[in-house]
Amino acid sequence: MGKMSKKIIRQGDLGFHTGAMHDFYYRGKELYCEKVRVLDIVRKVGTPVYIYSHNTLIEHVEKLQKAFQSVQPLICYSVKANSNLAVLKSLIAKGTGLDIVSGGELYRAKQVGCDPRKIVYAGVGKTEPEIEEALRYGILLFNVESRPELELIHQVAQRLKKRANISLRINPGVDPRTHHHIATGKLESTFGIDLDTARQIFLKRFDYPSLNICGIHVHIGSQIVKGEPFVEAFRKIVGFIDSLEREGVRIETLNLGGGLGVIYNDEVPQTADQFAKNILSLFKGKKYRLILEPGRFIVANGGILVGRVLWVKQTKVKNFAVTDTGMGDLIRPSLYDAYHEVWPLVRKDHARKLTYDIVGPICESGDFLAKERHLAELESGDYLAFMTAGAYGFVMASNYNSRTRPAEVLVRADRFAVVRKREDFHSLVAGESVPAFVG
Ligand SMILES: *Cc1c(COP(=O)(O)O)cnc(C)c1O
């Protein structure tokens, strides 16, 4: 490393916020992830490929652990943001639990040996087999979203002669001021139980001998950059718990959900420290244990998606760079109008800049990754990195157009490993068959 004294360019030098993705940076003209040259990964593994930085994941957990040190919350990483087994293992090795939303995520949690007493299970549509499996494994808490779900968990627990810990997901009726597809805390949203219904359930808790209804859960949405929606929601919840306690209900856990925003472009989200500072005073003197469920905050800036420019197509009005990756691999731009920075793997500092729409190969006009970006002139064979793609990236990838899903790679210091191999055509049709009555 000593010889490589070329200027190191970090995100901040390019006019973005420093610190957001500091494990991805330019050394000279080339993009690195930790100590690995991204080109070396791409040459070995091919494109499209997701690349994750182990260090970023760990640092984000540490930031939360440090900010909330005084209350020692249980941090349950939200598996749905990025469920790769290597990512999960990295996080639980650092002491986190897991927040799951399906039987499939429970299976992943078991695969990496997550302590069941650190698993919380949310989701509006849990099925009976899923509930049974979670009860058998002995998870910490079910975050319950409706009365019929509560009844079903009770029945299953009775049948298995087990007692399930329950926290009710409360819908506090606040607007998190984020994209409407990822806002969940408003009253018209599908998620959670209103305060009156929740109160009734708590007061009738002894009608459910196989349930220990002892917790409150609140998750108001995702990519929330401001502090106020959290404070507004949590203040309401604390008041609600106070009133329950006056009626003799003891609350053991308060799960604050996830939702912390990250930097994709020019957002200025609150830091873990600011978040803690904003909210911890609300819980002074309270006996319940806090749970946090961060997803995006942990992984978003820990990952990139790399694709290759197939060719540049110039029309009378626009330049399109057609790449080998698109909405099938990273759907956030198409789905949420999300913004991802585009960095070339090799910078061309003196090339002229042109404006490009960066599009994928899928037969949909919505197949784009970035619009109207000023980039040094692109040519066939150039590699591009789509930044901040670690959360809600691969997990939302599909096989639409019968395209195989990308490989995933984890980098740790100067090492890297393929943590999910690229799908092949065999896996594409695995499970399909043609019955004798056709053809
Ligand atoms: C999605 C989800 C999270 C994580 O949200 P992020 O915005 O990724 O932090 C946490 N809790 C619940 C219940 C969720 O559905």
The CA–CA distances, whole Å, from 159 to 103, 132, 137, 420 equal: 19, 9, 15, 38
**Residue 25 and residue 10 in contact, taking contact as beta carbons nearer than 8 Å:** yes
What pLDDT, on the 0 to 100 scale, is given for residue 2? 38
What pLDDT, on the 0 to 100 scale, is given for residue 177? 72
Q: Domain locations in the chain? A: 13-53+300-427, 55-299
Answer yes or no: is pLDDT of 72 > 50.
Answer: yes
Q: How far is the CA of 284 from the centre of ligand 1 (A)?
A: 25
**Residue 387 and residue 21 in contact, taking contact as beta carbons nearer than 8 Å:** yes
Per-residue pLDDT band at 46 (split at 50, 70, 90): very high
Q: Is 315 exposed, middle or buried (0-12, 13-18, 19+ CB in 10 A)?
A: exposed
Ligand 1 surroundings by CB, under 6 angstroms? 78, 80-81, 99, 122, 219, 222, 257-260, 293-297, 391
**Residue 212 and residue 166 in contact, taking contact as beta carbons nearer than 8 Å:** yes
Q: How far is the CA of 143 from the centre of ligand 1 (A)?
A: 12
Output the six-digit token pair for 277: 């500072």
Nearest to 236 by CA among 187, 181, 183, 287: 187
Mean pLDDT of 25-32: 96
363 is an active site residue: yes
**80, 170, 230, best to mutate for ligand 1 pocket (most atoms within 8 Å of CB):** 80
Q: Where do runs of H (alpha helix) occur along 71-223? A: 85-93, 103-111, 128-137, 147-160, 195-203
Q: Which residues share a beta bridge with 288?
A: none
Answer yes or no: is pLDDT of 180 > 80.
Answer: no
Nearest to 312 by CA among 364, 377, 401, 363: 377
Q: Tens digit of pLDDT for each residue in 197-228?
A: 999 999 999 999 999 999 999 999 999 999 99
What pLDDT, on the 0 to 100 scale, is given for residue 84? 98
What pLDDT, on the 0 to 100 scale, is given for residue 226? 93
Query: β-pairing, 303-314 with 30-33?
Result: unpaired
Q: How far is the CA of 218 from the centre of ligand 1 (A)?
A: 10
Cα–Cα distance measured from residue 390 to residue 343, given in angstroms and rounded to the nearest whole number: 15
HSE-up of residue 351 (Cα within 13 Å, Cβ side): 14
First to last CA, the chain: 62
55-299: CATH, from 3.40.30.10, 3.20.20.10, 3.20.20.70, 3.30.230.10: 3.20.20.10
Ligand 1 atom at minimum distance from 258 CA: 9
Which of 21 and 51 is assigned the larger pLDDT?
51
Answer yes or no: is pLDDT of 263 > 90.
Answer: yes
Q: What are phi and psi of 203, to 5 degrees?
A: -70, -25
Cα–Cα distance measured from residue 237 to residue 198, given in angstroms and rounded to the nearest whole number: 11
Per-residue pLDDT band at 174 (split at 50, 70, 90): confident
Q: How far is the CA of 101 from the centre of ligand 1 (A)?
A: 10
Q: How far is the CA of 82 from the centre of ligand 1 (A)?
A: 11
Q: 10 Å Cβ neighbour count for 406? A: 27
Ligand 1 atom at minimum distance from 224 CA: 7
CATH fold for the domain made of 13-53+300-427:
Lyase, Ornithine Decarboxylase; Chain A, domain 1 (2.40.37)
What pLDDT, on the 0 to 100 scale, is given for residue 11? 43
Q: What does pLDDT average to over the chain?
A: 93
Question: For 22-25, which contacts have Cβ atoms below 8 Å and span 24 or more sequence positions?
Answer: 22/56, 23/53, 23/55, 23/56, 23/302, 24/53, 24/304, 24/343, 24/385, 24/387
**57, 102, 182, 222, best to mutate for ligand 1 pocket (most atoms within 8 Å of CB):** 222
Cα–Cα distance measured from residue 375 to residue 381, given in angstroms and rounded to the nearest whole number: 15
What pLDDT, on the 0 to 100 scale, is given for residue 192? 87
Mean pLDDT of 167-174: 93
Max distance between CA atoms of the chain, in angstroms, equals 73
**78, 226, 262, 296, best to mutate for ligand 1 pocket (most atoms within 8 Å of CB):** 78
**Marked catalytic residue, from 33, 76, 114, 363:** 363
Looking at the chain, how many residues does it have?
439
Q: Tens digit of pLDDT for each residue in 291-334?
A: 999 999 999 999 999 999 999 999 999 999 999 999 999 999 99
Q: 10 Å Cβ neighbour count for 183? A: 22
Q: Which residues share a beta bridge with 24?
A: 33
